[in-house]
């Protein structure tokens, strides 16, 4: 064979190895872009590594920060079930050696390696001839674990091309692990925020039924006392039906409204608690858009909060314009937004103040000037100082209520954003505040959200 032929054959081998490496990268990249479950990602990558490196078995050990252990998290091969979950100290075995050093280690004859954990191999009755152990490192060079590829098929040795290929796949696996963990952290952050919002709503929503029940108890006790007094003054045969009717009149008048309010409050709290239960399982419900009359939702909220406003000496009025077409919205979310708008306004007011919630709209034209429902919550409270108003609809919102969290206004902004609407705030210290929300009548009619 002449030199040129050898050069051509060598070049062909190089091209073949490069193709194998490119195929590995392509397959892992496809997995990375189509899967969000860590187990599916890593198992696919490990299988690809074994196939292209022509190995019999392989495993991935991940660092468990709480336990400070390396754990066999993914194993492929005949002894996979027996090895899964086995834990090693961070400096134990060849895996620990590579985890600590951050450098690839190739064992051509594992039996001669002092660091090799023979007891693990004996426990599962598996003979390891040769092995490549590669570190899994994040982009910030944080050690995530190690990957081990065992026993070249056909009794051969892992060559330089195999090692390069395994290192490439290990780098892809590290990216996959980091990506999925970031995805899980983001999802968890969404769940935590979602539960926080719901908890805030539940705290607020339970107050009106409690207030209604307390009011009902006071009125009922007063009526019962007067009824007993009326009976005690009655002479045998005396007709005092008129006096009894007057005594029970106030109770008869308020009883239906308060019972309705209590039942409504229990219903919305039950719904929100169901969402918490789902969120704990990792399920954050998507908005359900369907035609709904926003003005009718506002009137339901008024029924919930009017007795609470009365006890604080605040006048609550809802002005709902007629003739508006239904908007395509998530009715439950709109309810939460309206509830928080009214409740925040009531809580900000003092005795003698007034809260007016006006619901009207412009059916014609284009959003935001038209094709929308406008919700305005106006109060004659103390107003909002500039520094507080600047953070009103942000994660840095500041509350002036002793037991408040500031979540109410952020919940309103979140709901408006989901619907593609806008929020405007006008406030003057000592005069009052108006919060104006524009909600498109149709999905997709909204534009960039603004807050002013």
Domains of the chain are 3-187 (3.30.450.40), 286-452 (3.30.565.10)
Provide the pLDDT confidence category of residue 436 given band limits of 50, 70 and 90: very high
What is the per-residue pLDDT for 48? 79
CA gap 226, 247 in Å, rounded = 6
pLDDT at 185 over 90: no
Provide the pLDDT confidence category of residue 325 given band limits of 50, 70 and 90: confident
Residue 412 burial by CB count (10 A; 0-12/13-18/19+): exposed, middle or buried?
buried
Provide the pLDDT confidence category of residue 350 given band limits of 50, 70 and 90: very high
Least confident of 237-251, 346-360, 420-434: 237-251
pLDDT at 448 over 50: no
What is the per-residue pLDDT for 405? 37
Q: Of the candidates 346, 307, 306, 313, which has an alpha carbon nearest to the alpha carbon of residue 216?
A: 307
Provide the pLDDT confidence category of residue 35 given band limits of 50, 70 and 90: very low
Provide the pLDDT confidence category of residue 335 given band limits of 50, 70 and 90: confident
pLDDT tens-digit series, residues 133-144: 999 988 778 889
Query: In this predicted model, which residue has the larger pLDDT, 413 or 275?
Result: 413
User: Percent of the chain at pLDDT above 70?
Assistant: 67
pLDDT tens-digit series, residues 56-108: 999 999 998 888 999 898 888 888 888 888 899 998 889 999 999 999 999 99
What is the per-residue pLDDT for 368? 85
On whether the CB atoms of residues 419 and 446 are closer than 8 A, the answer is yes
What is the per-residue pLDDT for 318? 93
Mean pLDDT of 322-335: 86
Query: In this predicted model, which residue has the larger pLDDT, 282 or 74?
Result: 74
pLDDT at 265 over 70: no
Give Cβ neighbours of residue 179 (< 8 Å, ≥ 6 apart): 32
pLDDT tens-digit series, residues 351-392: 999 999 999 988 888 898 889 999 999 999 999 888 787 777
Residue 320 CB neighbours (<10 A) = 17
Instruction: Return the bridge partners of 131, or none.
Output: 107, 150
CA distances from 300 to 125, 335, 410, 431 (A): 70, 8, 22, 28
On whether the CB atoms of residues 285 and 362 are closer than 8 A, the answer is no
pLDDT at 192 over 70: no
CA gap 225, 48 in Å, rounded = 83
Characterize 369-405 residue by residue with b for buried, 16 or more Cβ atoms within 10 angstroms of its Cβ, and e for exposed: eebbbbbbbbbbbbbbeeeebeebbeeebeeeeeeee
What is the per-residue pLDDT for 21? 61
Measured in residues, the chain has a length of 452
3-state SS, residue 50: helix
Q: Which two tokens stand for residue 344?
A: 């925040």
């Amino acid at each position: 064979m002449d030199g040129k032929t050898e050069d051509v054959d060598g070049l062909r081998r190089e091209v073949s190895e490069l193709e194998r490496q490119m195929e590995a990268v392509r397959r892992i990249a496809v997995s990375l872009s189509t899967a969000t479950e860590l187990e599916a990602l890593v198992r696919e990558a490990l299988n690809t590594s074994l196939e292209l490196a022509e190995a019999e078995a392989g495993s991935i050990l991940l660092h468990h920060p709480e336990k400070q252990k390396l754990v066999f998290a993914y194993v492929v091969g005949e002894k996979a079930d027996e090895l899964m979950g086995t834990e090693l100290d961070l400096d134990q075995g060849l895996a620990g050696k590579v985890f600590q050093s951050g450098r690839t280690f190739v064992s051509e004859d594992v039996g001669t390696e002092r660091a090799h954990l023979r007891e693990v191999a004996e426990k599962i009755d598996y003979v390891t001839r040769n092995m490549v152990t590669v570190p899994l490192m994040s982009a910030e060079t944080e050690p995530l674990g190690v990957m081990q590829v065992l026993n070249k098929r056909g009794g051969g040795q892992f060559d330089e091309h195999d090692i390069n290929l395994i290192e490439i796949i290990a780098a892809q696996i590290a990216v996959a692990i980091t990506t999925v963990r970031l995805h899980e952290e983001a999802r968890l952050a969404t769940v935590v925020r979602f539960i926080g919002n719901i908890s805030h709503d539940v705290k607020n929503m339970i107050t009106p039924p409690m207030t209604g029940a307390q009011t009902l108890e006071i009125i009922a006790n007063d009526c019962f006392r007067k009824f007993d007094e009326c009976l005690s003054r009655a002479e045998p045969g005396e007709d005092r039906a008129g006096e009894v009717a007057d005594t029970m009149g106030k109770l008869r008048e308020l009883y239906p409204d308060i019972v309705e309010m209590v039942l409504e409050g229990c219903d919305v709290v039950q719904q929100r608690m169901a969402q918490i239960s789902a969120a704990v399982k990792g399920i954050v419900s998507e908005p359900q858009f369907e035609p709904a009359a926003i003005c009718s939702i506002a009137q339901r909220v008024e029924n919930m909060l009017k007795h609470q406003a009365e006890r604080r000496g605040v006048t609550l009025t809802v002005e709902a314009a007629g003739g508006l077409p239904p908007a395509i919205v998530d009715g439950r979310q709109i309810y939460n937004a309206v509830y928080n708008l009214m409740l925040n306004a009531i809580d900000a007011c003092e005795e003698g103040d007034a809260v007016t919630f006006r619901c009207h709209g412009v059916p014609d034209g284009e959003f935001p000037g038209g094709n929308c429902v406008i919700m305005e919550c106006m109060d004659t409270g103390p107003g909002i100082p500039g520094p507080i108003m600047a953070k009103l609809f942000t994660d840095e919102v500041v509350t002036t209520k002793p037991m408040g969290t500031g979540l109410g206004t952020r919940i309103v902004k979140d709901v408006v954003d989901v619907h593609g609407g806008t929020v405007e705030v006008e406030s003057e210290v000592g005069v009052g505040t108006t919060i104006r929300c524009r909600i498109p009548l149709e999905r997709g009619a909204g534009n960039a959200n603004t807050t002013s």
